[in-house]
Structure 1
Amino acid sequence: MSKVKYYYDSETLSYRKIEKKKGRKLGIVLLSIAGILLAGFLVFLVYLNLPYVETPKEKSLKRELAQMELQYELLNKKMAEAENVLSEIAERDNNLYRVYFEANPIPEEQRKAGFGGVNRYKNLEGFDNSKLIINTSKRLDVLTKQIVVQSRSLDEVSQLASEKEKLLAAIPAIQPVENEKLTRVASGYGYRTDPFTKARKFHYGMDFTAPRGTPVYASGDGVVVRADNNSTGYGNHIRIDHGYGYVSLYAHLYKYNVKKGQKVQRGDLIGFVGSTGRSEAPHLHYEIFKDGDRINPIHFYYGNLSAEEFAEMQKIAHQENQSLD
């Protein structure tokens, strides 16, 4: 049984019974329900926003992640620069170096080929930044492969350059006697009058008139394969094998300054002008062989003749005069 409550009425100077108003109880119930709903809503809001509430550790990890993304961006920029530089090197390699050394250019698809077959990046999948990491890794791998291809190409070019240098040093390229004013060209390559029979006969070399004892020089690097007088008509003569199919011959010598098997370089003194063998007067008979065939020596003086001097020598050498042997 609930207690009866009274209140003091100052107007009547008496105590009056407190009457319970109808609906008060219902209001309290509704107010309680409203409070519960409000509390639940607030709890729900807190629950929804829990992912956005960061702990100190989460903040630290987030900073590290942002730093990593920045580093990957910088790495991609550096790779872009490296790709541009490598592209320029590849262009020079194909259009300059390999052309000069007569090597086939490396196809573009070979330079920029990726990696087929097995998925090399499976272990990088499933992370928040997997796409960034995988793309960067692929780009780095392709760049590394391009560098390897280019490195091997440059090794090949270096080898070709070394061979080219040897070839250029070996090919006969200078006149075998001093002839600054071109006054010593007595007879050229082609049909000439034989000094002994007076018949028109093919002359397979060039004759340089010079006094007995005039120095004779090797026209290219090589090895002396003959220094004797055991060849009909040549008298004392020297043959130098320059490699690459080239052989030079120096005939009618007075004496030798080299011997068989000796290595010589372009410009080395190898002998002296004479008139031994089938010779009408002191001179040097000079021949060039390529793969066993005798060819015109006039094309092998680029080492010490200007364009004007070469044109003048051609004019002199083409005159059908009498040879000296």
Structure 2
Amino acid sequence: MSKVKYYYDSETLSYRKIVPKKGKNFALGVLFFVGIVAMSFVLALVYLNIPNVETPKEKAYKREIENMRFQYELLNKRMEDVVSVLENVEDRDNNIYRVYFEANPISEEQRRSGFGGINRYKNLEGYENSEIITETTKNLDRLSKRLVIQSKSLDEIATLAKNKEALLASIPAIQPVKNDDLKRMASGFGIRMHPILKYRKMHNGMDFSATTNTEVFATGNATVKKARRSSGFGNLIVLDHGFGYETYYAHLEDIKVKPGQKVKRGEIIGHVGNTGLSTAPHLHYEVHKNGKVVNPINFYHGDLTAEEYDIMLNQSALENQSLD
């Protein structure tokens, strides 16, 4: 219950009751409210501008931003470790794998090139941590591109390896008859006196003297291209080894294969004979590369030592008379 206040009236010499005016009370109330609002605003401005003073929400945001920066830095470090491993793989790829399989190395410019054209990172700009976010994204893009290039290179190497394996199995690499003591090599590649025509002419292969019915072997994996009688070569077999290689086996006693048949290196395809333009039982053997005759002496690495190769090389160089 509010107190009743009085005042002394000097005219009537008596105390009168003080009656408060309604309008004045209202004005005082409004003034008091405005004062509180103004004071709150001033205090808020002072609080927000005091150094090192943060709201709980600001502190939470700051912790989140710091954690994000730490995670980005950690991600960049992990990418550096991956790049280090990738560089080692790229080095081996260029200097070992691609050299072995005779493939051109991939240039550093191609491996490390960036992305041209428009600014693909524009949407990452304008923020407090745009720099680290943009740099991390660029590093990740570059790493991804290098991984794609290296992956394609390894796919190519895998294909080359399969082809290399097939090439090594298919290329002529052994002597077509057993010749352990190297005494069966009768005439080599080059200009020789023809035994029947009696003039010097190019001898496109090597002659191996042997008794009739001596086994003749395929010198590499191949497909039989020809297996028939020929006027000059007598019974003739031509093998297609792929990769541009073909081998000829002439003057055979018999033929043990058919056109289109697949044969393996060392497989018996016929026997030594004396058919066609021949003066004695022997095998005339030729190697063709991309349609041109080449010296067969270069294709016995599969069963000759270095010393044996020198012996055969010297024998093949003698300009004696051929047997066909």
Instruction: Calculate the TM-score normalised by the size of structure 2.
Output: 0.79
Does residue 135 (structure 1) correspond to residue 161 (structure 2)? The answer is no
Residue 42 of structure 1: CA displacement?
A: 9.2
Q: Using the TM superposition, name which of 306-315 and 89-98 deviates more.
A: 89-98
Residue 234 of structure 2: SS of its match in structure 1?
Answer: coil
1:255-295 alpha-carbon deviations (Å, 9 max, x no partner)? 12211111222222211112222222221111112233222
Residue 197 of structure 1: CA displacement?
A: 4.9
Match of 2:238 in 1: 239
Match of 1:256 in 2: 255
Contact 2:222 2:263 in 1 (8 A): yes
Amino acid at match of 1:72: Y
Measured at CA, do residues 320 and 44 of structure 1 come closer, stay the same or move farther in structure 2, by a change above 3 Å?
A: closer
Contact 2:220 2:264 in 1 (8 A): yes
Residue 141 of structure 2: SS of its match in structure 1?
Answer: helix
Residue 259 of structure 2: SS of its match in structure 1?
Answer: coil
Distance in 1 between residues matched to 2:204 and 2:270, nearest whole Å: 21
Match of 1:108 in 2: 108
Does residue 278 (structure 1) correspond to residue 281 (structure 2)? The answer is no
Residue 111 of structure 1: SS of its match in structure 2?
Answer: helix
Listed as ranges, the matches of 1:76-225 within 5 Å are 76-225=76-225
Measured at CA, do residues 249 and 159 of structure 1 come closer, stay the same or move farther in structure 2, by a change above 3 Å?
A: same
Does residue 49 (structure 1) correspond to residue 73 (structure 2)? The answer is no
Amino acid at match of 2:164: K
1:221-280 alpha-carbon deviations (Å, 9 max, x no partner)? 221111111x22211110011223321110111212211111222222211112222222
Residue 208 of structure 1: CA displacement?
A: 1.1
Instruction: Calculate the TM-score normalised by the size of structure 1.
Output: 0.79
Distance in 2 between residues matched to 1:131 and 1:303, nearest whole Å: 62
Measured at CA, do residues 282 and 130 of structure 1 come closer, stay the same or move farther in structure 2, by a change above 3 Å?
A: same
Contact 2:196 2:277 in 1 (8 A): no
State the number of aligned residues. 284
Measured at CA, do residues 124 and 271 of structure 1 come closer, stay the same or move farther in structure 2, by a change above 3 Å?
A: same
Residue 288 of structure 1: SS of its match in structure 2?
Answer: strand
Structure 1 residue ranges without an equivalent (≥5): 1-40
Residue 304 of structure 1: CA displacement?
A: 1.5
Residue 46 of structure 1: CA displacement?
A: 4.1
1:66-123 alpha-carbon deviations (Å, 9 max, x no partner)? 3222221111111111112222222232333333333333232221121222222222
Residue 132 of structure 1: CA displacement?
A: 0.9
Match of 2:3 in 1: none
Distance in 2 between residues matched to 1:80 and 1:316, nearest whole Å: 61
Residue 167 of structure 1: CA displacement?
A: 2.7
Match of 1:228 in 2: 228
1:24-43 alpha-carbon deviations (Å, 9 max, x no partner)? xxxxxxxxxxxxxxxxx998
Distance in 1 between residues matched to 2:281 and 2:122, nearest whole Å: 84
Listed as ranges, the matches of 1:303-314 within 5 Å are 303-314=302-313
Residue 146 of structure 1: CA displacement?
A: 1.2
Measured at CA, do residues 54 and 42 of structure 1 come closer, stay the same or move farther in structure 2, by a change above 3 Å?
A: closer
Distance in 1 between residues matched to 2:109 and 2:192, nearest whole Å: 58
Amino acid at match of 1:242: H
Residue 181 of structure 1: CA displacement?
A: 2.0
Amino acid at match of 1:319: L
Residue 236 of structure 1: SS of its match in structure 2?
Answer: strand
Residue 198 of structure 1: CA displacement?
A: 4.7
Residue 251 of structure 1: SS of its match in structure 2?
Answer: strand
Measured at CA, do residues 54 and 227 of structure 1 come closer, stay the same or move farther in structure 2, by a change above 3 Å?
A: same
